[in-house]
A and B are shown apart, each in its own frame.
Chain A
Amino acid sequence: MISQVFILSSQGDHLIYKDFRGEAGSDVVNLFYEKVTALTGDQPPVVMRHKDVHFVHVRQGGLYWVATTTADTSPFTIIEFLNRLTALVKDYCGSLSERSVQMNFALIYELLDEVVDYGYIQTTSSDILKNFIQTEAVSSKPFSLFDLSNVGLFGAETQQSKVAPSSAATRPIQSSRDQGGKSEIFVDVIERMLVVIGSNGVLMKADIEGEIKVKCYMPTCSEMRIGLNEEFSIGKSQLRGYGAAVRVDECSFHQAVRLDEFDSLRILRLCPSQGEQTVMQYQLSDDLPSAPPFRLFPTIERDNGGRLLMYMKLRCDLPPKSAGINVSATIPVPKGSVSLSQELSSPDQSAELQPQSRAVVWKIPRFPGGTQLSALFKLEVPGFSSASMLEVGPVSLSFELPKITATGLQIRFLRLSPFQPGPAQRWVRFGMRTFDSDHEVGPGPSEDPVQDCFHWWIHCLLYLSQQDDVCWTESVCCLTS
């Protein structure tokens, strides 16, 4: 049972406030903000209490989404609800930010009114809600010259129009109504990966969590069929032969997915509702089908002047056609490091010392496959002792890899049946996102304690390519090559 719902900006501005049961006053909003900003590090901020009022909140899009409730309420329900609410707002307003919430407050009030009555959740299905929601979303997307780049000379279709801008999927679902005919479906395959690698280069732990998301802008969508790799297998027992099977350990599906053709043909059938939904989730642990995309070779020593020299060589093992983007390496350094001098192998890279997180952050905007970069960092550490070496590492890497999935999962085709009257556009994007890719190395030889640990993060990529059935297969080929 939810007593109130409110949305606060990170500065504490009241964006939305809705009281469902009239049990507590609106002063709790300020109270919440005081509490959340007064938190010390070790308090779990998810649930807080003030007398009988319990605050449950999630942070999304830089905003606090808060529900007040009673002690015996299920936290799973409330948190799932708040997450669902953020997803709905994202669907209806296009994106999730302070600005979009501010501009669409009337729409959000309307949503809240339909979703919750007297503190009880009524429905969060966008299929049902779309009949009730009347307010039009105000899109906060600023005008951008990039949007024009997709228009060819004299309106001709250019090669670029085969690729949608990555912002294409961040528009409100409702606007499809008046833009008439712009019915589109986006399918995202996103994998997040966690890898831990020992200092000797041995893979210690690998986890991949992946999901297939469908974002549907069609007001009425008939059945759609998504074909996965035919050699897709679940669990170890199903592995057939030695082929390049795509294997996952566990797999779960959205309840609306019908699996009659899944066992034989690996086809998912579903009637997507408007908005975004996760159709399939899968996990794979401890058995990476391919080598990690990056390797780091660190050397660390002290020079005569007592400075710490860190020489980092980073190699990208992706195929030459692919590239990692927004690669960022975080190297923890000893406490009290004061200054950094750096030698980087190319001018587009940058590195800085962040004293509050005690780390050197090395950023590489674009890193093509098959190349190698190096960096030399010289750190001034007053009072450096041999024990300070223990504080160096583990190194973590975060990056985005467009067009690549670690498990090798692909979408063979995407069909809408019966055939749509209008031209429905189908878009697929693949990406590997590393939410926590830890590349970690166990204690090395004692002379060189720095080669300790690496973390990796892979942030995945959003790549859009327009598909019709024929050119679709082609583009898959080009993705896999």
Chain B
Amino acid sequence: MPYIGSEDTVRDLRRVLSNPNVQSDQLRYRNTILKVIRAMSQGVDVSGLFSEMVKACATVDIVQKKLVYVFLCSYATLNPELSLLVINTLRKDCQDPNPMVRSLALRNMTNLRLPSLVEYVEQPLTAGLRDRAACVRRVAVLGWAKLHNLQTNSEIDAAVVNELYSLLRDPDPVVMVNCLRALEEILREEGGVAINKPITHHLLNRLKECDIWGQCEVLRILQRYRPQSEDELFNILSLLDVSLISPHPPVMAATLSLFLSLCSGLPAVGLAALERVRGPLLAACGNTSREMQFTALCHIQLLLRSLPGLMGEHYKRFFCGYAEPAYIKQRKIEVLVELVNDDNVAILLDELRGYCTDVNISTAHAAISAIGRIGRSYSDKCLEILTELLGLKQEHITSAVVQTMRDLVWVCPQCSRTVCSAVEGCEAEIQDSQGRHALLWLLGVYGEQVSSVPYTLEVFIDGVRSEASVGVKMELLTATVRLFLCRPAETQDMLGRLLHYCIEEETNMCVSDQALLYYRLLHCGIEETRKVLQCRRSDPSLGVLIGRPAEPINQWSYIFNTLEPLRPGAIETDDALTASVSAPLSLSLSPALSPEEFEDLWLQQQCPTIFRCSPQSLQAAMQLVNIQTLAFTPPHTLPWRVYLYTNTQNKHSADTCHGTLILGELLVKKNTAEKGIKVTLKQQPRDEKALKGFLSVLTTVLHALSSE
């Protein structure tokens, strides 16, 4: 880097800056300051020039002023004392007749981030709120937020808060939006700016005046509003309909987010909104910016979780372009898998086949495993393609195909015959350990169907000394023992050699222990071994791709329009239902509740679910997930009841915890026909999302208990 001589640079710059000849020449002075800023943004430490720069601040040249302020704001925290010198100039500028100078001074005064200067800043800020020029008011409003964050523990000035609330009616829309932003920050502890009916209606009416950034901010803040009646709700929704199909993706996304939070109790309306944004979202997928395309794709994946048929007929929009970057291709492949139906499967598979030979190896793998996933419903066509790919005899493709086939066979046992004939003879191509691992598993489990297996395994066993991967060695052991069970005559000799090597020479504990285990198991007799090793070959219940039930929208609506869906693998969690439900919701025991309060709060609300469980371990299990059992009847008396409570905290809603109190009664009536627990829940304040979340946490606990 060119900064080795940075001390020299600073010394030279200082000399020039303090040269009176330069100071009197406007242009030279400004150019020198430019040099300082350039050095600063290149990473040179020029903080030593602070006092010279403070002097340069007193000038009528606005460009020079702006440059000096860039410098001062970067280094003020290092020089709190010298910064005091700037304040006078800044305060003087706040009186300047030019509004641009006033707003500039005010903004930079608050950007210095020095708690010691707060007392000097408050007065100009107060004046700034009442300034004639909107640009000064914009800066002043945000200035109060900056000031508050500089000294978070100080009292909130009620007068300022009132002033900010009244500025919500300012004619300038940016001032209004800035007021919202400032109040959100200042009142963070109280849950942010109060969103009541008049404010909501005021904001909605002025939405059109704001630019897209302001609209997004307003829409985001309105998510906290709960309409008081259904009429009001629908009025708001129809008002927002225009923004829902906005050509600006940020506005569209923010509106959909608001729709989903307003309609959390009306799933049908939510689904209709998803249909409505289909057009704008597809348009965003065709945006000229790759990053925007990617964002839209990730969010389409979310929508498809609730409405799998949403994009069915638009599958061609998700075909990959040749020159697209790998991260877009891979997301598109994931989306394509979701869109498969009887009509388009042939075209889709044809397209995916083309991606399997992509130059980017991970894209090729994604395409191959996508074909495998489609194979769960359309196995014949997919197996044909996968078999054809094996013919390419390329290491990475063969390895990915074998892994895909292994996964496919586990779900669709009917494919095993084709798979077995296909994998025969491809062991020479596979070099990586995951591929060999998959191959060995297939050979072990389906050993009786592939005639050449003993020869293949023999090659592996002969090379076991040079095998580096522990997983492959362990899989080899298992496969050989399994093969021995069905083809003992051909395998006995090599199994003996393998066990001998693993027990006597192998240094890895896991491998030698497993070998010992099998050795002892074989001692116990062939029937015992068979019982242990011939386990299930498949698990069709793992779920077929098509016909996966649509998830309710609120399973994902809280991460919509956040960075979460853009993370790699963010979508993969959807199989683990419990994980995705309990993650956003955390329970806590505070505020604590006395039994009397509990009784007072009790109301009837029916929400029955039925489970079996054993009462004894209930309390301990409940405490694990932060649910407090408050009272219960002694065991073995019927009816048996439990009363419990908990508080929910919505972590995702950024603002301070808006807890919901949930009270519950579990009732077991063994004498009734249905065996199970009746759960009655009450909550305050009402929060459908939290209630659903709580129920699934409860169900998980009860499931866990009943399976014990």
Contacts and interface: CB of A to CB of B under 8 A. Distances in A.
Contact of B174 (A58, A73, A123, A398): A123
Contact of A80 (B257, B292, B567): B292
B139 interface: yes
Contact of B63 (A79, A134, A358, A390): A134
Nearest to B110: A118
Interface stretch (A41-49, A145-153, A304-312, A319-327): A41-49
Interface in B1-58: 34, 37-38, 41-43
A105 B35 CA distance: 11
A46 B291 contact: yes
A182 interface: no
Given A71-B562, A120-B142, 19 more contacts: A16-B41, A43-B327, A45-B327, A46-B566, A59-B291, A69-B563, A71-B564, A74-B216, A75-B566, A76-B295, A83-B292, A106-B37, A106-B66, A120-B178, A123-B213, A132-B100, A250-B283, A332-B359, A455-B321
Contact of A14 (B42, B66, B74, B394): B42
B471 interface: no
B37 A105 contact: yes
Contacts, number: 217
Given A117-B142, A124-B211, A79 B295 contact: yes
A358 B568 CA distance: 27
A47 B359 contact: no
Contacts of B360: 41
Nearest to A83: B289
Contacts of B212: 80
Contacts of B181: 118, 120
A81 B142 CA distance: 20
Given A79-B291, A124-B213, A443-B350, A134 B66 contact: yes
A194 B285 CA distance: 14
Interface in B158-191: 174, 177-178, 181
B322 A283 contact: no
A75 B247 contact: no
Contacts of B43: 14, 26
A281 interface: yes
B440 interface: no
A103 to B, nearest CB: 10
Contact of B146 (A74, A76, A118, A356): A118
A44 B70 contact: no
B572 to A, nearest CB: 13
- A-B pairs with lowest CB-CB distance, top 9: A436-B321, A42-B362, A44-B327, A121-B213, A387-B391, A76-B250, A77-B250, A47-B566, A76-B253
Nearest to B288: A435
Contacts of B363: 41-42
Interface residues of A, number: 88
Interface in B41-93: 41-43, 62-63, 66-67, 70, 74, 77
B70 A109 contact: yes
A440 interface: yes
Contacts of A135: 63, 66
A200 to B, nearest CB: 14
A13 B42 contact: yes
A282 to B, nearest CB: 11
Interface in A439-481: 440, 442-443, 453, 455, 457
A365 interface: no
A105 B359 contact: no
Given A75-B295, A75-B566, A58 B211 contact: no
Interface string B493-514: 0000000000000000000000
Contacts of A281: 247, 283
Nearest to B185: A118
B392 A72 contact: no
B393 interface: yes
A180 B359 CA distance: 53
Contacts of B206: none
B566 A117 contact: no
A255 to B, nearest CB: 8
Contacts of A435: 288, 321, 323
Contact of B562 (A75, A118, A391, A440): A75
A19 B42 CA distance: 14
Interface string B307-328: 0000000001101011110110
A387 B392 contact: yes
A94 interface: no
Given A106-B34, A391-B357, A438 B321 contact: yes
Given A42-B327, A80-B250, A457-B323, A250 B562 contact: no
Contacts of A117: 107, 138-139, 142, 178
B145 interface: yes
A121 B173 CA distance: 13
Contacts of A40: 362
Dominant secondary structure of chain A at its interface with chain B: mixed
Interface residues of B, number: 87
Interface in B374-425: 388, 391-394
B248 interface: yes
A123 B248 CA distance: 15
Interface in B102-150: 107, 113, 135, 138-139, 142, 145-146
B213 A22 contact: no
A335 B394 CA distance: 9
A356 B135 CA distance: 54
B354 A453 contact: yes
Contacts of B439: none
Contacts of B639: none
Interface string A35-67: 000001111111101000010111100000000
B279 interface: yes
Interface string B545-571: 000000000000000011111111000
Given A42-B362, A205-B319, A14 B213 contact: no
Chain A CB count within 10 A is highest, among B217, B279, B289, B295, for B295
Nearest to A13: B42
B366 interface: yes
A396 B322 contact: yes
A56 B139 CA distance: 26
Given A13-B42, A109-B70, A117-B139, A76 B362 contact: no
Contact of B654 (A72, A113, A436, A440): A72
A13 B2 CA distance: 11
Given A76-B295, A118-B146, A387-B393, A194 B321 contact: yes
A194 B67 CA distance: 47
A56 B359 CA distance: 27
B37 A109 contact: yes
A205 B563 contact: no
B220 interface: yes
Contacts of A330: 322
Contacts of B177: 120
A124 B248 CA distance: 14
A219 to B, nearest CB: 17
Given A83-B292, A250-B279, A120 B321 contact: no
B292 A122 contact: no
Contacts of B37: 105-106, 109
Contacts of A22: 77, 113
Interface string A344-376: 000000000000111100000000000000000
Chain A CB count within 10 A is highest, among B67, B283, B288, B291, for B291
A457 B288 CA distance: 15
Contact of B361 (A41, A113, A388, A396): A41
A132 B139 CA distance: 14
A436 B322 contact: yes
Interface in B320-369: 321-324, 326-327, 330-331, 350, 354, 357, 359-363, 366
Contacts of A343: none
Given A46-B295, A440-B354, A455-B322, A74 B220 contact: yes
A130 B350 CA distance: 52
